[in-house]
Structure 1
Amino acid sequence: MKPYNTDQSKKEEVREMFDNIAPKYDLLNHTLSMSIDRLWRRHVVKIVCRVKPRRILDVATGTGDLAIAMARRIREAHVLGVDLSERMLDVARRKVEARGLDGRIVLDHGDVEHLDVATASVDVATVAFGVRNFGDLDAGLRELARVLRPGGRVVILEFSRPSNPLFRTLYEFYTYRILPRIGGMVSHDRRAYEYLPASVGEFPRPAEFLRRLEAAGFHDCKARSQSCGIAQIYIGVR
């Protein structure tokens, strides 16, 4: 599915959508999730820390929250953050500079399907809430596998649908009824906040996504449920 359902490609529409909502993205992201997204990112950072990486690639870096968290925690690491949206990157650059991390975080406009990164040059590749927005999911996963060194890790944080029927009903009422109204009112782009939750429903279930990770070239793939299945952290080894 696409955010606006125009004649543009999904990739072009996703870029336009994030350009549109960039000024209010952080406010809405933390408010609408009641800041639980911060907890999930901390879990990702702990997983990444165990690898003791020197070079980290953060794809769909957005406004830089995960890149900043990793650079702060892993002081020997250098992080390359890549995103389609220049306006999201503008927000990220201001945050990185304000925290004095511009020496260890580089932010660049880029496309996950065609990364300007050398083969087998990265220790860890991360994606937080961006993999479901890939124009071509399988091509993006293969490109992540290409840039990782043998033994390197991919760590992906993404929303999913809770398995408990009652909890899923409550979650989907909030996600499909409440979130688009608030997000649309604040960002002035309701279509974006209708697309974002709807895209979760269309994203592969954890077991299927793990199979696609394996098909892209990863092994020892695992999914770790977060907050009763609202999100998953997927881990794979190159």
Structure 2
Amino acid sequence: MTDAAPTKSATPGDRVDKSNPRVREMFRQIAPHYDKMNHLLSLNVDKYWRSQAVRRLRIFPNHPILDTCTGTGDLAIAISAKADPTVDVVGSDFCHAMLEIARDKRDPGKPSSRISFLEADSQTLPFADDTFQCVTVAFGLRNVADTDRGLLEMTRVCLPGGQLMVLEFSQPRMIGLKQAYGFYFRNVLPRIGQWFARNDKSAYEYLPESVGQFPDGQAMADRMTAAGLIDVRFTPLTFGVATIYEGTKPGILPSQGLA
């Protein structure tokens, strides 16, 4: 979901409510306008960020890929376009309304037609251990009530030797940009979002709050390491407005089908 960081973090007493019922209802309300608002408010830069994430994925034949918090399916669709036809792509999300839009995006005769979209909570994924060669999440991990539990689940279902990737908003550090960026997303984005989507204004107030309270940079990399990943690294995008985080599950990816 398109949003950005305020210039200061909230105090513990101001923690944003990320309970499942609240977040699910918020996304249900804005689902019909979600894609259009993303592209408008990010000036289409969100498409570039996803393309950069897909470029970094190590995709081999015959092993499935999971995109968690898939929303309306943009990252899953981009992954399917790159993957070999032998690679099953699965998109999971706990908001039914968002998944309905994702399913409608599947194009018969194109790779997206093979994507399976299913309703699931990222804190309790309904998959066996060591299932997917890549597990991804784009702009969704910060909406999971328990970030560490979400990372542990993603790691659990990833194959040994497989890749876990997080694409998420982060806070620019550049003086001037940081202040301008924070002002825009605290004061301008909520008003545009409310006018455009005509939904409960709390949804667009939630966006900068959730980013401001989410770990970024090394703090996020440390969370991934604590979840059991190795070779964790991160790459800021667009002056730090978003960041790609990558880690590997210890072990060796099964050799079947690898080139």
Q: Give the structure-1-normalised TM-score.
A: 0.93
Identify unmatched segments of 5+ residues in structure 1.
none
What secondary structure, in the 3-state scheme, does the structure 1 residue paired with 2:239 have? coil
Q: How many residues align?
A: 232
Shift in Å, 1:182: 0.6
- In structure 2, the residue matched to 1:52 is 60
Q: Distance in 1 between matches of 2:183 and 2:121?
A: 33
Name the SS of the counterpart of 1:235 in structure 2. strand
Task: Name the residue aligned to 1:121.
Answer: 131
- Contact 1:26–1:63 under 8 Å retained in 2: yes
What is aligned with 2:239? 228
Deviation at 1:51, TM superposition (A): 3.5
Identity percentage of aligned residues: 42
User: RCO higher in 1 or 2 (8 Å CA, sep ≥ 6)?
Assistant: 2
Q: Within 5 A, what are the aligned runs for 1:198-213?
A: 198-213=209-224
Matches within 5 A, 1:125-164: 125-164=135-174
Please say if 1:108 is aligned against 2:118. Answer: yes
Report whether the alignment pairs 1:11 with 2:20: yes
For residues 88 and 192 of structure 2, what CA distance do their matches in structure 1 show? Answer: 36
After superposition, the C-alpha distances for 1:165-206 in whole angstroms (9 at most, x for unaligned) are 211111111111111101111112321111012111111131
- Amino acid aligned to 2:121: D
CA 1:195–1:111: 2 relative to 1, 3 Å: same
Tell me the CA shift for residue 75 of structure 1. 3.1
- SS of aligned partner of 2:163: strand
Q: How far is the alpha carbon of 1:139 from its aligned partner?
A: 0.7
Name the aligned partner's letter for residue 207 of structure 1: Q
Match 1:61 to one of 43, 60, 70: 70
Q: 1:21 to 1:98 in 2, by over 3 A?
A: farther
Q: 2:60 is matched by which residue type in structure 1?
A: K
- How far does residue 103 in structure 1 lie from its aligned partner after superposition? 4.5
Higher helix share: 1
Map 1:32-51; keep pairs closer than 5 Å. Answer: 32-48=41-57, 50-51=58-59
**Counterparts of 1:69 and 1:103, CA distance in 2:** 12
**1:192 counterpart = 2:203:** yes
In structure 2, give the amino acid aligned to 1:210: A
Answer yes or no: is 1:82 the counterpart of 2:78.
Answer: no
Which runs of 5 or more structure 2 residues have no equivalent in the other structure?
A: 1-14, 250-259
For the pair shown, the structure with the greater C-alpha radius of gyration is 2
Q: Once superposed, what is the RMSD of the aligned Cα atoms? A: 1.4
1:51 to 1:71, Cα distance in 2 relative to 1, 3 A:
closer
